[in-house]
């Protein structure tokens, strides 16, 4: 084909140019010009080698191609020893001579590796300073003979194999002759930095990614905690301001009691709870038209802004019924029926009382609230023991209330203390403060003790106050006669009269078991006839007296009739 003909032409041209006696390679001429006189034995050997026929046209052609394709001269200085050859095949890539200083030892290692991979064995003759290179020349000719045999066996592939070492030599020499950068002084690193660098170097990439994610998560959590802390401080500050506002609203809703109402000294005080917002306790002290003095003390469930409307609602409702002339029991009973829906999910405990200065009689009724402490002003005087059996339930719990009422005569000087459950539920260690400690504190303060002094004393004695505290103290002047409980009332409907609660009430008032059973038999008969009856037990004598009185509240009978109508309609 065309490539074969071109290859044959190149071989013929190489044979014509290299078979003459003057065919000497440029490298051989350079070596002859700078070498010393050779010995006769060396000249005879060269003549015999030159007389031998050419080994291969392919090798001579390839040598010429290599000599022609070499871009630059590898040696940077003239050769010092001659190297002659009478045959063109002596010119091969292996016969290229390079000074030892121009090619570093590290640069010759890739050349040796490339020569082993391609099957060729190029050698770089390092000339001695004296210019003697006979041994290097013999090694170059041996490598050239081996390259010629490989080219003869491989055919056309030999050209590519022979060209590869020359190109590699040129690249390595070019790299070795590049100007080196200016040597800089080494920077010494600390042992810690070196250790960290080594640790980071051996850590796998997934672990590095995981560590980065964990660090990012930690930073995000720290930022979030900082924001949460700032928000919590801001909310705590706003909560404190809100509690102060609620306390001011509570104080604005609570009336300012006069120091005296007629012959009776009055005082009232309020203390908000420790922690939660205030707003559940309330009190009121006012004069009625007939000269009586009315007292209202109560506690609405809940705290804060939601309790404030209910507090005002209960207080003004009870006050309206007392000013209308109803008894304390009647006021509580009516208010319970009216406020049952308006209180919603809340409820209220209250105590309502009236004091008649002319008769010196105190009448009070409670609904789920502790009774007042009534004691004489003498230091050895003991407070009256109230009757708590069959007490009325709180307002707004869906049950009939206002069924109990007590009457106390106060012939001499006395102290009457109304309070909320926050006072007695203050903590003294693991125990409640209690009504007994309250009576003792009242006695220690003296007959002129005010409500403010009493609550301050409770606050000093208590370790913790979980609820609001409110108190109202009345001081009645007179002789040294102690107060006396004279009357206890209990309203019974058909259901209550049929239960055992009536008998429990009579026994708590000092009635014997036989008399209590007979009284309850008569009460059940009266309740069956009229629907309800008021059981009155008079105390003060040697034997308690039991009597019955018809309920004069038409509203309660109407309410009872409405409930019966609802039952009939639902059936």
Phi then psi for residue 408, to 5 deg, are -130, 130
pLDDT band at 9 (very low <50, low <70, confident <90, very high): low
CA–CA gap between residue 26 and residue 193 (Å, rounded): 58
Mean pLDDT, all residues of the chain: 74
Q: Pick the residue with more confidence: 436 or 169?
A: 436
Say if CB 400 and CB 374 are below 8 A apart: no
The pair of three-digit structure tokens given for residue 231, joined into one six-digit string: 């928000």
pLDDT at 251: 64
**Lowest-confidence segment of 242-251, 263-272, 320-329, 362-371 by average pLDDT:** 242-251
**Lowest-confidence segment of 174-178, 189-193, 331-335 by average pLDDT:** 174-178
**Lowest-confidence segment of 375-379, 382-386, 562-566 by average pLDDT:** 562-566
Buried b (16+ CB within 10 A) or exposed e, 466-475: ebbbbbbbbb
pLDDT for residue 226 is more than 60: yes
pLDDT at 499: 86
- The DSSP symbol for 306 reads G
Q: Pick the residue with more confidence: 38 or 176?
A: 38
Q: Is 299 helix (H, G, I), strand (E, B) or coil?
A: strand
CA–CA gap between residue 42 and residue 82 (Å, rounded): 12
pLDDT at 18: 46
What would the pLDDT profile of 54-75 be if each residue is shown by its tens digit? Answer: 445 445 555 555 555 555 443 4
Considering the chain, what percentage of its residues have pLDDT values greater than 70? 62
Burial of 488 (0-12, 13-18, 19+ CB in 10 A): buried
Q: Pick the residue with more confidence: 240 or 346?
A: 346
pLDDT for residue 148 is more than 70: no
pLDDT for residue 92 is more than 60: no
pLDDT for residue 164 is more than 90: no
pLDDT for residue 1 is more than 50: no
Beta-carbon contacts of 183 under 8 Å, excluding residues fewer than 6 positions away, are none
Q: Pick the residue with more confidence: 549 or 258?
A: 258
* Cα separation of the two ends of the chain: 122
The pTM of the full predicted model, rounded to 2 decimals, is: 0.57
* C-alpha neighbours within 13 Å on the C-beta side of residue 293: 26
**What is the average pLDDT across 524-547?**
84
What would the pLDDT profile of 430-441 be if each residue is shown by its tens digit? Answer: 899 999 999 999
pLDDT for residue 128 is more than 50: no
pLDDT at 39: 64
Say if CB 386 and CB 375 are below 8 A apart: no
Q: Pick the residue with more confidence: 493 or 243?
A: 493
Q: Please state the length of the chain.
A: 571
**What is the average pLDDT across 419-445?**
92
pLDDT at 46: 72
Place of tokens 């309850």: 520
**What is the average pLDDT across 522-550?**
84
pLDDT band at 379 (very low <50, low <70, confident <90, very high): confident
CA–CA gap between residue 90 and residue 82 (Å, rounded): 14
pLDDT for residue 473 is more than 60: yes
pLDDT for residue 32 is more than 70: no
CA–CA gap between residue 53 and residue 60 (Å, rounded): 12
Considering the chain, what percentage of its residues have pLDDT values greater than 90? 33
Phi then psi for residue 287, to 5 deg, are -100, 140
pLDDT at 219: 93
pLDDT band at 297 (very low <50, low <70, confident <90, very high): very high
pLDDT at 12: 59
pLDDT band at 119 (very low <50, low <70, confident <90, very high): very low
Q: Which of 305, 548, 524, 315 is nearest to 420 (CA)?
A: 315
pLDDT for residue 506 is more than 80: yes
pLDDT for residue 10 is more than 70: no
Q: Which of 280, 287, 279, 284 is nearest to 268 (CA)?
A: 284
**Lowest-confidence segment of 30-39, 208-217, 318-327, 503-512 by average pLDDT:** 30-39
Buried b (16+ CB within 10 A) or exposed e, 536-568: bbebeeeebebebeebebeebeeebeeeeeeee
- The DSSP symbol for 406 reads E
């Amino acid at each position: 084909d065309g490539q074969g003909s071109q290859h044959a032409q190149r071989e013929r041209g190489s044979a014509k140019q290299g078979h003459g006696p003057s065919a000497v390679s440029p490298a051989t001429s350079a070596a002859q010009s700078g070498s010393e006189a050779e010995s006769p034995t060396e000249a005879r050997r060269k003549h015999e080698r030159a007389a031998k026929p050419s080994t291969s046209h392919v090798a001579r052609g390839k040598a010429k191609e290599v000599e022609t394709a070499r871009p630059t001269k590898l040696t940077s200085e003239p050769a010092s020893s001659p190297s002659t050859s009478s045959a063109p095949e002596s010119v091969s890539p292996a016969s290229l001579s390079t000074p030892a200083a121009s090619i570093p030892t590290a640069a010759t290692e890739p050349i040796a590796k490339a020569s082993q991979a391609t099957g060729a064995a190029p050698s770089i003759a390092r000339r001695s300073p004296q210019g003697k290179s006979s041994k290097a020349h013999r090694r170059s000719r041996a490598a050239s003979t081996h390259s010629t045999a490989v080219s003869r066996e491989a055919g056309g592939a030999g050209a590519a194999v022979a060209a590869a070492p020359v190109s590699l030599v040129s690249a390595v020499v070019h790299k070795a002759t590049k100007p080196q950068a200016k040597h800089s002084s080494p920077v010494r690193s600390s042992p810690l930095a070196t250790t960290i660098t080594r640790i980071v170097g051996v850590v796998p990439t997934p672990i590095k990614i995981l560590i980065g994610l964990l660090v990012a998560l930690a930073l995000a959590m720290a930022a979030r905690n900082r924001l949460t802390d700032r928000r919590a401080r801001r909310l705590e500050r706003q909560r404190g301001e809100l509690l102060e506002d609620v306390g001011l609203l509570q104080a604005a809703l609570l009336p300012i009691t006069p120091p005296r109402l007629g012959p009776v000294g009055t005082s009232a005080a309020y203390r908000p709870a420790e922690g939660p917002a205030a707003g559940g306790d309330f009190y009121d002290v006012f004069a009625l038209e007939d000269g009586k003095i009315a007292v209202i003390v109560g506690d609405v469930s809940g705290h804060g802004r939601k309790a404030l409307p209910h507090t005002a609602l209960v207080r003004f409702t009870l006050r309206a019924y007392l000013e209308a002339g109803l008894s304390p029991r009647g006021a509580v009973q009516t208010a319970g029926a009216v406020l049952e829906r308006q209180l919603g999910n809340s409820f209220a405990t209250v105590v309502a009382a009236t004091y008649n200065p002319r008769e010196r009689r105190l009448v009070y009724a409670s609904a789920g609230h502790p009774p007042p402490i009534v004691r004489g002003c003498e230091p050895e005087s003991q407070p009256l023991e109230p009757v708590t059996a069959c007490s009325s339930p709180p307002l707004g719990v869906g049950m009939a209330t206002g069924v109990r009422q007590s009457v106390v005569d106060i012939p001499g000087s006395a102290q009457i203390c109304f309070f909320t459950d926050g006072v007695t539920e203050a903590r003294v260690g693991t125990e409640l403060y209690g009504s007994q400690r309250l009576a003792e504190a009242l006695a220690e303060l003296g007959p002129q003790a005010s409500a403010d002094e009493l609550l301050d004393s409770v606050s000093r004695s208590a370790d913790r106050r979980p609820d609001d505290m409110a108190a109202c103290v009345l001081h009645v002047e007179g002789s040294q006669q102690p107060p006396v409980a004279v009357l206890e009332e209990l309203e019974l409907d058909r259901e209550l009269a049929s239960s055992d609660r009536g008998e429990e009430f009579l026994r708590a008032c000092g009635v014997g078991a036989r008399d209590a059973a007979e009284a309850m038999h008569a009460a059940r008969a009266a309740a069956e006839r009229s629907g309800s009856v008021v059981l009155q037990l008079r105390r003060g004598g040697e034997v308690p007296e039991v009597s019955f009185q018809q309920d004069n509240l038409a509203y309660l009978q109407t309410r009872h009739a409405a409930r019966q109508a609802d039952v009939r309609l639902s059936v």
